[in-house]
Structure 1
Amino acid sequence: MRDGQAPRTPEPRTPHRTPQQRTRTRIISPTARPARRSQDADAPTIALRTAIAPSATPEPPRGPRRETRREPRRAPRREKGRAPGRTAAAAVTTVTVLVPAHDEEDGIAATIEGLLAQESPEWLRIAGIVVIANNCSDRTAEIARRYPVTVLEMERNPDKKAGALNHGWQQACRGTEDADLVLTMDADTVLETDTVAAMAAELRGNAVLGAVCARYWATPGRGLVWRLQRLEYSRYDDLRDLRGWRVSVASGAAAMYRGAALEQVATVREAGVPWDGASLIEDYALTLELKARGWRVAAARNAHVHTTPPATFRALWQQRLRWGRGGMDECLKRGWSPATRTDCLSYVLFAFSVFFRVLFIAMLTLMIVYGVPFRYALIGLIPLGVMWLERVTSMWRLPDRGWRDVALVAVLVVEDFYGFFLELCAVVASWRCLNARRQAW
């Protein structure tokens, strides 16, 4: 000790502690926030350490404190096609069916029975079936009333099928909650048992779809006209498959529309209804209106229907004249637009195909007349081989093909003459359109 300095007081010695007693005991509130560390932050810790007596019962060592992380609340997953804010119990999709019928006493019963036999999942409800007897002179309305459906009779309907659809839509669909989706179908069409559910699932799963149509097969029949049309339907179905099920028209044989899309189209028409009564093909006119407003149209790949084709060449001629004339009328009325450009280009390509077909026939005729050896034209058989292979592929996909179908495809001449017949229908329809000739229904 130096002189002049006070003696230093000895510090008390901390008694010896066991390893358990050296354990630091801290109480952490789950809601308390950790305070910032200051200069005196070690003082409470030192006091707490010295306060532990040697004779105190040691606490068992605690492991590291687990902090429970609270997961943020997630919004419930929204199902595609479901409106926001709707609960699962309220997410049932309602469908109203409109069936315009003109003198269909032979097939209306099978059509209604096919609708009543539909399989409905828990998210789907068929709210009503409405049969619109359109200018009927037979027992169509009487037969329809035997079933649990609504029957509307129209004795004077100048707008034919479009007028019947508009009348049924105004009576059963407009301003109601029972028409989230609207199914329209011909009275000579029979649905498979899962058709309505398959079409509704397509619309629920894609919010940009305004309409879907079914894949149609010809009802059982007999005769050359029926068999040729059956092969044609199968070939057209393959074409839609190659295009990703995109279609130029939601075929009126069986088409399902989004209720909101129909309301949107109705607001822009002067008559305030979706279907155009002045159009020869009302389904194509409505399809163009939907596309012009940003909706997409597709074919439901899992929906199948059976429809009755024309039974004679005369009836088929009349049908294809109306289709061809109506299509050109709609394109000329709307002009070149995003909704019509694909169809306008198809008319140009059709003109080229007709030209080259006529050129091929003329060349073949000259070769026969002048005795030109066919070895100079063998390269021209390559397209025929490709076309024949495509026809065989389409025929092979028929669900109930027979040996007569195989024979028709094997002999190229028969289907070639059928192709000439359809092209002639299109040429005559185009000529009538350009000359403003009147076209009957």
Structure 2
Amino acid sequence: MAVGNALRYAGVPDVRITVLIPAHNEEAGIGAALAALSRQTRRPDSVIVIADNCTDDTAKVAAAWRAEVAVTEGNTDKKAGALNQILADILPRLRDQDLVLVQDADSQLGEHFIEAALEYMDARPKLGAVGGVFQGEPGAGLVGYLQRNEYARYARDVRRLGGKCLVVTGTAAMMRAGTLKHLSRARLDRTVPAGDGRGGIYDTTVLTEDNELTFALLHLGYEVLSPKECTLVTEVMPTWRDLWKQRLRWKRGAVENCFQYGVTPVTWRYWGRQLLTMAGVAVTFIYLTSIAVAIAVDGGVSLQPVWMAVTGVFILERVVTVSDRGWRHMVAAATMFELVYDIFLQLVHAKAYADVILNRERKW
């Protein structure tokens, strides 16, 4: 990738930006990710594709785009382990003010992402990470459509909060090299959980390394932000089965991260969200049970004012919160598909809570 233009950042000229893209068998999508980087209004100075246990042509495609290719050695810790290997190599050579952008191989950054992230970093010295606001890629039929609606609602919430976010997602995150070095030292002295025990930036023992990384940064006194200008497109799960597996990992990982850190001035709001989610699961269970009982006892479903009101409020919320996608999507959001999708997610949450409580084996 070509060297980016010089930029004065935090009083230091020519800050360098290194992009890391962990990739496991991403031959089909890595080209699009690299093409998006080539269109950045502030192009990165180096791009490293981390070929992790690949059995396809990921490395070949990346090299064709003139990206540097780093091949992991003996990594058994998936994305977190791959990133730790490369960061251990490059961090000592980076100045504290230099920047590292970690992005998924199945994501494409909006053309102003890096430029906007730089401006926020320059203006706010306590920013530990700048993440992205993502939308779903086209395709995958109904399940893809419902995920795109979900992502649009998330983007709306983050925008309304001025970029404040609970998690800097793994789709894309920019961090200072000095922040990462600080985090590595904190892992070693156990100011935050030790992770791999060797000062690795990412915790290889958890299911959701991006959520845990956010917790670690917040506990070290940093802020995190997902500005509306930092947009990107990311993959959607192509099937209900794939979506179930993804969301189960996300939810269980988030719950386990809460237990990992305990109740602190940082995590109390995350615990609060878990309690709200559990309440939502309970309401969904009562809702479905009432329908099942009505069918079994009365042979049909009678219109109960309470549940009609609950359903009406739900549909209204679904319609309003997808307004950014236009009126056609607002009309479609009024269908029962959104209710089915919400019940699906509530079932995922219930399964995640049960797995944590019963300490079932984790699979990813």
Asked whether the two chains share a fold, i.e. TM above 0.5, the reply is yes
CA contact (8 A) 2:96 2:177 kept: no
Q: Is the 8 Å Cα contact of residues 96 and 179 (structure 1) preserved in structure 2?
A: no
Q: Distance in 2 between matches of 1:372 and 1:435?
A: 35
**What's the offset of the Cα at 1:361?**
3.2
Deviation at 1:186, TM superposition (A): 0.5
Unmatched tracts of structure 2, length 5 or more: 1-7, 188-196
Structure 1 residue 383: Cα displacement: 3.9
Instruction: Report the equivalent of 1:203.
Output: 121
Flag the 1:159–1:238 CA change in 2: closer, same or farther, 3 A.
same
CA displacement 1:330-375 (0-9 Å, x = unmatched) = 111111012211111111111112212222333455566458974x
Aligned to 1:78: none
CA–CA distance in structure 1, aligned partners of residues 239 and 294 of structure 2 = 35
Which range moves more in the overlay, 305-314 or 196-205? 196-205
Q: CA deviation at 1:246?
A: 1.6
C-alpha distance 295-235 of structure 1, shift in aligned 2 (>3 A):
same
Q: SS in structure 1 opposite 2:226? A: strand
Q: CA deviation at 1:206?
A: 1.3
Maintained 8 Å contact 1:98/1:132: yes
1:302 is paired with a residue of what secondary structure?
coil
Alignment equivalent of 2:104, drawn from 186, 190, 195: 186
Q: 2:214 and 2:166 mapped to 1: Cα distance?
A: 8
Change beyond 3 A, Cα 1:222–1:364: closer
Aligned to 1:287: 214
In terms of Rg, which structure is larger? 1
Q: Does 1:318 align with 2:245?
A: yes
* Equivalence for 2:63: 145
Give the Å deviation of 1:169.
Answer: 1.6
1:408 pairs with 2:326: no
Distance 2:322 2:36 in 1: 27
Cα distance in 1, alignment partners of residues 71 and 97 from structure 2? 21
Deviation at 1:221, TM superposition (A): 1.4
- Residue among 360, 365, 385 paired with 2:287: 360
Q: Does residue 320 of structure 2 align to residue 393 of structure 1?
A: yes
Comparing 226-235 with 125-134, greater Cα deviation is found at 125-134
Letter of the 1:103 partner, please give it.
Answer: N
Q: Give the superposed CA RMSD.
A: 2.2
Rounded to whole Å, the distance in 1 between the matches of 2:259 and 2:65 is: 43
Q: 1:329 touches 1:433 (CA, 8 Å); kept in 2?
A: yes
Contact 1:173 1:179 in 2 (8 A): no
Match of 2:261 among 331, 334, 337: 334
2:161 to 243, 247, 264: 243
Structure with the bigger RCO (C-alpha within 8 Å, sep 6+) is 2
Partner of 1:91: 13
Number of equivalences: 346
Q: Which has the higher helix share?
A: 2
2:31 aligns with 109
Deviation of 1:227 (Å) = 0.5
Aligned counterpart in structure 1 of residue 135 of structure 2, from 207, 213, 217: 217
Instruction: Return the alpha-carbon distance in structure 1 between the equivalents of residues 90 and 252 of structure 2.
Output: 32
Match of 1:100 in 2: 22
| Equivalence map 1:257-272=2 (5 Å) | 257-269=175-187, 270-272=197-199
Q: Distance in 2 between the 1:213 and 1:229 partners?
A: 19
Aligned to 1:297: 224
Alignment-mate amino acid for residue 98 of structure 1: L
- Cα 1:319–1:373, aligned 2, differ >3 Å: closer, same or farther? closer
CA distance in 1, matches of 2:57, 2:301: 63
Q: CA deviation at 1:406?
A: 4.6
Tell me how far apart the structure 1 counterparts of residues 101 and 232 of structure 2 sit (CA, whole Å).
13
Q: Give the TM-score of the pair, scaled to structure 2.
A: 0.88
Q: What are the Cα deviations for residues 309-343 of structure 1, in whole angstroms up to 9, with x where unaligned? A: 11011111111111111111111111101221111
For residues 109-154 of structure 1, the C-alpha deviation after alignment (integer angstroms, 9 at most, x for no partner) is: 111111122112xxxx622111100110100001111122210012
Counterpart check, 1:226 vs 2:144: yes
So what's the TM-score if we normalise by structure 1? 0.74
3-state SS of paired residue (2:92) = coil
1:431 maps to which residue? 354
Which contiguous aligned blocks of 4+ residues in structure 1 show a shift greater than 4 angstroms? Answer: 364-373
- Find the aligned partners of 1:200 and 1:393 in 2 and give their Cα distance: 33
What secondary structure, in the 3-state scheme, does the structure 2 residue paired with 1:301 have?
coil
The percentage of aligned residue pairs carrying the same residue is 34
- Secondary structure of 1:319's counterpart equals helix
Counterpart secondary structure, 1:93: coil
CA contact (8 A) 1:95 1:178 kept: no
In structure 2, relative to structure 1, the CA distance for the partners of 1:284 and 1:372 (3 Å cut) is closer
Is the 8 Å Cα contact of residues 96 and 178 (structure 1) preserved in structure 2? no
Q: Name the CA distance, whole Å, in 2 between partners of 1:306 and 1:410.
A: 25
Whether the 8 Å CA contact 1:105–1:143 is kept in 2: the answer is yes
Give CA deviations for 1:186-234 in whole Å, capped at 9, x if unaligned: 0011111111111221221112211121110111214111101001111
What does the per-residue CA deviation read over 1:36-64, in whole Å, with 9 as the maximum and x for residues that have no partner? xxxxxxxxxxxxxxxxxxxxxxxxxxxxx
**Is the CA contact (8 Å cut-off) linking 2:95 and 2:177 kept in structure 1?**
no
Q: Which moved more, 1:330-339 or 1:90-99?
A: 90-99
Per-residue Cα deviation, 1:6-31 (whole angstroms, up to 9, x for no partner): xxxxxxxxxxxxxxxxxxxxxxxxxx
1:378 aligns with 2:305: yes
CA 436–380 in structure 1, closer or farther in 2 if over 3 Å, else same: closer
Distance 1:373 1:255 in 2: 50
